[in-house]
Structure 1
Amino acid sequence: MLVTKDEYEIDDDPGRVDLDVVHGFLLGSYWAEGVPRDVVTRSVANSLNLGLYHGESQVGFTRVVTDRATFAWVADVFVLPGHRGRGLAHWMIETLLAHPDMAGLRRFMLATSDAHQVYADGGFTPLADPGRFMEIKRPLRELYEEA
């Protein structure tokens, strides 16, 4: 799936993902700080990925962990600083939700500390019943040091 808007493209071709750009951004992100490259490589290989491109350069990314039948977890959404403020993150989420592999899914989930409005504009809401959800949360640094 390839979509264009102005001078930007969103493409789900996994061969087009620039792992240097994705890993480079995630290394400094609040949610994956210090993530090893091999972890990023495996996460991309096992997800539906949307790359955001300006010409031949990748300038944004999002990935979805999904069974393509009932559930999707949206992760690693970013737009590089020089391309922010143009509605590109909103466009990536809109494109993701319209992707043919996402049709008919019952639940989309994500976590964010700073982009609530981007996701709210796409239809995301706080958990209706947070008491039903549980997690195992392991400190990233400890996991990466063991790897």
Structure 2
Amino acid sequence: MANVEISFEPSRIDFQKTSEILKESYWGDGRSDEIHRRAFDSSFCAAAFIDGEQVGFARAVTDYACFAYLCDVIIWPDRRGAGIGKKLIAALLDHPDLAGVGSWSLRTGDAHKLYEQFGFVISTDGMYMRLARKPA
């Protein structure tokens, strides 16, 4: 596999390409660039690069102490299946600013096996609740 570089520098993220790819995902359908801009600006973002070209993105919504929510993990379609997503997730989980966070969560409709490799389990303990509503 090509050498994958993970960067946490927001200025390196190709915002337009990332926003477009996320809008094509099953979870990002209906989002706008404005929503993505607010979300990215309020999150700890990471991007994957090969030879200087961005090929993936992920972000964590976090308080940097107790809780983090892993979301918008996406690899560009022509780069999937090469382990880039694993490197991106590991880099976020292991980043010094996030390594002490004890409670991580995420939502997925199709990548359970990927996240299980990192210790994520389906919540069946009756403690987690969810409110889903349309934004105002």
TM over 0.5: yes
1:43 aligns with 2:39: yes
Write the deviation string for residues 1-22 of structure 1: whole angstroms up to 9, x where unpaired.
Answer: xxxx843211000111111111
Contact persistence 2:2–2:50 (CA under 8 A) = no
**TM-score, normalised by the number of residues in structure 1:** 0.86
Name whichever of 84-93 and 67-76 sits farther off: 84-93
1:112 aligns with 2:108: yes
Which residue pairs with 1:133 in the alignment? 128
Aligned to 2:97, the other structure's residue is in SS state: helix
% identity of equivalent residues: 36
Aligned to 1:95, the other structure's residue is in SS state: helix
Aligned partner of 2:97: which letter? D
Name whichever of 73-82 and 54-63 sits farther off: 54-63
Please state how far the C-alpha of 1:125 moved relative to its aligned partner: 1.0
Contact persistence 1:28–1:34 (CA under 8 A) = no
Gaps of 5+ in 1: none
1:64 aligns with 2:57: no
Write the deviation string for residues 30-74 of structure 1: whole angstroms up to 9, x where unpaired.
Answer: 111021101101111111011011223211000000000010000
Aligned partner of 1:40: which letter? H
Aligned to 1:93, the other structure's residue is in SS state: helix
1:93 aligns with 2:85: no
Distance 1:81 1:6 in 2: 16
Please state how far the C-alpha of 1:132 moved relative to its aligned partner: 1.7
Aligned partner of 1:31: which letter? W
Write the deviation string for residues 116-145 of structure 1: whole angstroms up to 9, x where unpaired.
Answer: 11101111111151x222222024xxx3xx
**TM-score, normalised by the number of residues in structure 2:** 0.93
Higher helix share: 1
Contact persistence 2:8–2:46 (CA under 8 A) = yes
Distance 1:57 1:34 in 2: 27
Alpha-carbon RMSD across the aligned residues, in angstroms, is: 1.4
Runs of 4+ residues over 3 Å off in structure 1: none
Aligned to 2:93, the other structure's residue is in SS state: helix
